[in-house]
Amino acid sequence: MSLLTKCIGLAKKAKHRYQDSIQAHQPVYLSPVRRIDRVAAHERICAMTFDDGPCRLPANPDSFGGKPLTLHLAELLEKYDAKGTFDVVGDTSENYPDAAGAAGSASWGGIAYDHYPDFQKDQEGGVAHCPELIDRLLAGGHQITSHSWRHIIWGRKNVVYGKRRHMPGLDAVMEDLEKLDRVMKERWDYSIRLSRPPHYVDRIPGGFTSYDAYALMGYQYLGASFDGAGWLPLSGYEVEVAATIQPMEKLLDANPDGLCGQIIFQKDGFNMARRSPVADGLEKQLQLLTRLGYRVVTVDALLAHSPFSDITPDKADAQNAALLLAAGWCVAFRDNTLRPQTILTRGGLAQMAYGWEGAKKRVALIREKARPFSDLKASHPYAGACVIAAERCGLGEGRRFLPDAPATRADLRRVLTDRFGEAPEVIPEEPLTHSAFFALAAELTGERHESE
């Protein structure tokens, strides 16, 4: 492994540790867009995602008769009765003028932009150039998700990608996302439901993030919890193939249930050394998972099995919350947890009831540089929903909203009446928990599950 490769790997690990540390000390807010990294599951079920395709070029090294890499991956999955989630790009051929970076570096495919499947070979990849591969994936029952049209990072990323051009703002991000969404609908009558930002860069110039973009698109954020490896160049191909299976073997040797509910990250393309260890590594992974009785399903199927990351689907809180989720309520936190014993705040109640509509309102508030309440900035995750709750239900205290104050029974009656046309006669004593709210609101949908 080169010094540069080690530095890239260490930088990414350090970044993740730093982000985890920061997140551990920051408040987590309810959100219409949840980052789906994994779900809580008792069964041996998991999902595999494949970024950056479709790829018409063969594997490198190629021992599969020149077969397109994407087709090879699809056939391998189907051989083991598995379904993949292919996180596709649209077309990177517009990402010029540019120059190729050094082989083995993060800019191997381009200094200013990414080019898939390789520099000056853009016509061999992407939805625009490989419709036959999208046909094949859909025919095989695999899921298509959005990795954006041009795969341009959405904001600055100084570490690793300091020379990269990024999107100028939210409008450009939306135009890019909408193009892939529109092509999939018009050509294949296919609706995208999940998306992963290029290189996981969340910040967008202008005070926005990927969560704003996805809320406007009606998407969920496609994360991952287990690295299937293969994207970093090592000393040789066989070593890279081994790196795709050894961490998985180690995890499952220690705990055969260790991958339950997890989402595995892979690449439908080449690593920084222009090799594709996934071509051989995937079968080894599938053999191991099959031997242990795992089902490999699409991320949509994984979410249908278990929507949340902290509560298994057999629990009443998960079942009540799932009913509300299907009805458009924002019952989960941004990290896809329910945290049912959390005290329901006034801001949280507004977000649960009006989060999707509130996300659009919040974007407008930020653009207008407005401050809706004296105690709530436009940038606050609940700002838009609180404005709507004040307008429709009279929540708030004049110029103040008191978003962190516990929601009262009167607050709850107003919101439930606005959403359902009625409110339960009996409401539990204050302070109300999220669990109590799930049960009350689910009762108004016509189905409620009793707590254990």
The model's pTM: 0.94
Domain shared by 327 and 275, yes or no:
no
CA dist 12 → 50, 167, 205, 285, 448 (Å): 19, 22, 22, 23, 44
Say yes or no to pLDDT of 445 above 90: no
Instruction: Quote the pLDDT of residue 22.
Output: 46
Number of domains making up the chain: 2
Q: What confidence tier does 415 reach under pLDDT thresholds 50, 70, 90?
A: very high
Residue 168's contacts (CB-CB under 8 Å, 6 or more residues apart) are 205
Mean residue pLDDT of the chain comes to 93
Say yes or no to pLDDT of 236 above 50: yes
Instruction: Quote the pLDDT of residue 18.
Output: 47
What whole-number percentage of the chain has pLDDT above 70?
93
Domain shared by 130 and 157, yes or no:
yes
Say yes or no to pLDDT of 11 above 60: no
Encode pLDDT of 204-227 as tens digits. Answer: 999 999 999 999 999 999 999 999
168-187 burial, b if ≥16 CB within 10 A, otherwise e? eebebbbebbebbbebbeee
Q: What is the mean pLDDT of residues 124-140?
A: 98
Encode pLDDT of 34-48 as tens digits. Answer: 999 999 999 999 999
* CA–CA gap between residue 156 and residue 192 (Å, rounded): 26
Domain-embedded: residue 184: yes
Domain shared by 342 and 293, yes or no:
no
Say yes or no to pLDDT of 417 above 70: yes
Of residues 411 and 22, more confidently modeled: 411
Say yes or no to pLDDT of 344 above 70: yes
Domain shared by 244 and 383, yes or no:
no
Domain shared by 258 and 171, yes or no:
yes
Half-sphere exposure of 354 (CA within 13 A, CB side): 27
Q: What is the mean pLDDT of residues 131-151?
A: 98
Instruction: Quote the pLDDT of residue 230.
Output: 85
Indicate which CATH number applies to the domain containing 271. 3.20.20.370
Instruction: Quote the pLDDT of residue 24.
Output: 52
Domain-embedded: residue 449: no
Domain shared by 116 and 204, yes or no:
yes
Instruction: Quote the pLDDT of residue 21.
Output: 47
**Residues composing the chain:** 452
The residue behind tokens 């909203």 is 401
Q: What confidence tier does 25 reach under pLDDT thresholds 50, 70, 90?
A: low
CA dist 207 → 150, 256, 358, 380 (Å): 22, 43, 16, 11
Name the β-bridge partners of 143: 85
Q: Which two tokens stand for residue 194?
A: 């999940």
Domain shared by 324 and 223, yes or no:
no
Q: What is the mean pLDDT of residues 189-196?
A: 98
Domain shared by 263 and 336, yes or no:
no
Residue 227: how many other CB atoms lie within 10 Å: 16
Of residues 445 and 275, more confidently modeled: 275
Say yes or no to pLDDT of 166 above 50: yes
Domain-embedded: residue 450: no
**Is there a contact between 84 and 48 (Cβ–Cβ < 8 Å)?**
yes
Domain boundary among 254, 274, 302: 302
Domain shared by 255 and 324, yes or no:
no
Domain boundary among 302, 328, 356: 302
Domain shared by 223 and 335, yes or no:
no
Q: What is the mean pLDDT of residues 249-272?
A: 98
What whole-number percentage of the chain has pLDDT above 90?
86
Domain-embedded: residue 289: yes
Encode pLDDT of 264-284 as tens digits. Answer: 999 999 999 999 999 999 999
Domain-embedded: residue 452: no
Q: What is the mean pLDDT of residues 90-117?
A: 95
Domain-embedded: residue 307: no
* CA–CA gap between residue 330 and residue 29 (Å, rounded): 10
Domain shared by 297 and 320, yes or no:
no
Domain-embedded: residue 356: yes
Q: Which domain holds residue 110?
A: 3-302
Domain-embedded: residue 451: no
Domain shared by 109 and 141, yes or no:
yes
Domain boundary among 268, 302, 336: 302
Q: What confidence tier does 176 reach under pLDDT thresholds 50, 70, 90?
A: very high
